[in-house]
Structure formats: C-alpha cells, structure tokens
Amino acid sequence: MADLKVTQTRSTIGSKPKQRGTIRALGLGRIGKSNTLPDRPEIRGMIARVPHLVSVEEVAES
C-alpha cells in the first residue's frame, strides 16, 4: 500500500467552512504546505471533497 503526498495549491479564502475543515483535517493550512498520508478510503474521500484546492501524488512507502 502506497502513501499519498497531498499539497495545498489554492487558498481556502472564499471556500465553504466544510471545505476549510477538510483542509485542516488533512493537515494543511497554507498554500504550498504538504502532508504525507496513508492511502485509505477515508483519506481519498476527504481529497475528493476538495480536489480544486489540492494536488495529490502517490509515493512509495518507506
């Protein structure tokens, strides 16, 4: 199972509070900030809620 590197690419200004909460739950908060998360259905669902604010890369598990 691989990990996902999630990077915030756009600002949350003007987005809905639920989307801002999802960004915070992913461990992000600023443009350019990245977080490595396990590739699980819960994480994929969170990313699916904010695809316009983040970019995702798969990374090999270390």
User: Any idea what the CATH number is for the domain that residue 9 is in?
Assistant: 3.30.1390.20
Percent of the chain with pLDDT over 90: 94
The mean predicted confidence, pLDDT, of the chain is 95
Q: Provide the token pair at 59.
A: 């990374």
Question: What is the CB neighbour count within 10 angstroms for residue 25?
Answer: 12
Structural domain range at position 34: 3-56
Burial of 12 (0-12, 13-18, 19+ CB in 10 A): buried
pLDDT over threshold 70, residue 62: no
Once rounded to an integer, what is the mean pLDDT over residues 23-30? 97
The total number of structural domains in the chain stands at 1
On the CB side of 33, CA atoms within 13 Å amount to 10
Once rounded to an integer, what is the mean pLDDT over residues 8-34? 97
pLDDT band at 1 (very low <50, low <70, confident <90, very high): confident
Domain membership of residue 30 (yes or no) is: yes
Domain membership of residue 62 (yes or no) is: no
Helix axes 17-25, 41-49, angle to 10 degrees: 140
